[in-house]
Amino acid sequence: MILGSAVGEFHGQFAWVVIISNGAAGVWAMAANWLESLRSRSLWIFTAAAEATILVQVILGVVAMTGDDLEVEQFHMFYGFIALVSVGLIYSYRHQLAEWRYLLYGGGGLFLMGLGIRAMTIQPLG
């Protein structure tokens, strides 16, 4: 967790929102692949909201880093930006993989959760 500022503290706590929401969205989409009753508009709204938390988290991290003039571990930033790029890639393949849409978003959500966990396990301050 980035220490020393309110934004940095919020960034550290908000990581749990990112991880839990993307994991839940991934499990829901994965289950929806096999259970039609789970396929609903709510799934896509929840998935979009979960993926939006990644953008918020990256912005919080950048603000905390620049506002406190901190030297941050490179791999911590790497995982954040990879997560952000991954959201774009998942979204861009939604038409090409329409037949596999639920698995794409299910696996994608779990992958994003994993990136968040990995970013948390790295001590952010170098």
Q: Tell which phi-psi region holds residue 56, choosing left (phi > 0), alpha (psi between -120 and 50) or beta.
A: alpha
* Both tokens assigned to 100: 């596999």
Which residues, 6+ apart, have CB-to-CB distance to 57 below 8 Å?
Answer: 11, 14, 15, 18, 80, 116
Per-residue pLDDT averaged across 28-51, rounded?
97
Q: Bridge partners of 125?
A: 72
* Structural contact between residues 76 and 119, judged by C-beta atoms closer than 8 angstroms: yes
For the entire predicted model, the pTM comes to 0.90
79-106: pLDDT as tens digits? 999 999 999 999 999 999 999 999 999 9
pLDDT of amino acid 13: 94
CB atoms within 10 A of CB 19: 21
Q: What angle do CA 17, 19, 21 make, to 5 degrees?
A: 60
pLDDT at 2 over 70: no
Average pLDDT, the chain: 92
Q: Tell which phi-psi region holds residue 69, choosing left (phi > 0), alpha (psi between -120 and 50) or beta.
A: left
